[in-house]
Amino acid sequence: MNKIQLIIALVVAAFSLLSYFGSSSVNPITGEKQHIGGMSQKDEVAMGLQSAPQMAAQMGGLTQDARARQLVAAVGAKVVAQSVAAKSGYPFKFHTLADPRTVNAFALPGGQVFITMALLSRLETEGQLAGVLGHEVGHVLARHSAERIAKDQLTQGLTGAFAMGAGSMDAAQVARVVGQMTMLSYGRDDELEADALGLRLMAEAGYDPRALIKVMQILERASGGSRQPEFASSHPSPANRVQKINEALARAFPNGIPAGLTP
C-alpha cells in the first residue's frame, strides 16, 4: 500500500469524523444532543420548499378532492397550533397527494408534510389522521432529516477514505453496504421517536393518542403480509411499533388516558 495514499486516506477519515462529531446542538423539543453538521433551521425550510413540488409530482400531484385537502389541512393545523410544535418556528404545511395506490405519509425537512389518498381513504377517524400527521410533524421537530444528511456525509467520507486506503473499488462497495446498514438502524430509531412525539402532539391537540395504535393495524393490513424482514427495513414492523406505543403511553399517562379526547 502506498504510504502517501494511506496518509491521505487517514486525513480524509479524520476530517469526516471531526466534521460530524465536532459540531452538535441540543434540540429544544426533545432535549437531545444532535449532530446535524452546519444545517440551520432556515436551511431545512428552504430545502423542503424546494423539494415539495417535485415530490408531489412524483406521486400524481395534489388531489382534486377539495374536502380531503381541507380535512388534512385543518387537522394538521390543529395538531401544530395546539401543541409544542407551535413554538418550533417551522412553517408547517400539509399536502394531500392524489396517489390512490401508495399507502404512505412523509415529511420533508422544514415542515412540508404529505399524505396520500391511498392512506387517507383507509383512515376511519379524525384522531387517526391526527396520529399520522403528528408522527410526521415529530420527524420535523426531531430534525431527523438534518441528522440523516449529516450521517450520510460521514458515511460517504469514511467510505471514500476506506476505498482510498485499500485501493480497491470492491472494498469501497463493502464499506458502502456497511454504511447503509448503519443508516437503516438509525431509521428505525427515528420512526419510534416520531411515534412517541406524535403521541405527545396529538394528545396536546385534544386527540386520543390510542388512535395511533389503530393506524398501525391499518398499515399492517395494507401491507398484505409483503413486508421485508424488520432488520432490512427502515421502518419497524407495525406490531413492534404497537408495543412501543403502548410503552410510551404508559410512561406519558401513568394515571390513564384523560377522558374527552377526540378518537
What is the chain's length?
A: 263
Spans of the chain below 70 pLDDT:
1-22, 153-186, 225-234
Buried b (16+ CB within 10 A) or exposed e, 76-115: bbbbbeebebeebebebbbbbbbbeeebbbebbbbbbbbb
Judge residue 199's burial from the number of C-beta atoms within 10 Å of its C-beta, 0-12 exposed, 13-18 middle, 19 or more buried: buried
pLDDT in tens, 197-214: 999 999 999 999 999 999
Nearest to 52 by CA among 100, 114, 101: 114
CA 1 to chain centre: 42
Q: How far apart are CA 182 and CA 186, in angstroms?
A: 7
pLDDT in tens, 81-124: 999 999 999 999 999 999 999 999 999 999 999 999 999 999 99
Listed by start position, the domains of the chain span 3-252
Q: What is the pTM of this model?
A: 0.84
91 secondary structure, DSSP code = -
Question: Residues 136, 147, 191, 193: which is the catalytic one?
Answer: 136
* Catalytic residue check, 136: yes
Question: Under DSSP, is residue 124 helix (H, G, I), strand (E, B) or coil?
Answer: coil
Helix, strand, coil fractions of the chain, as percent rounded to 5: 65, 10, 30
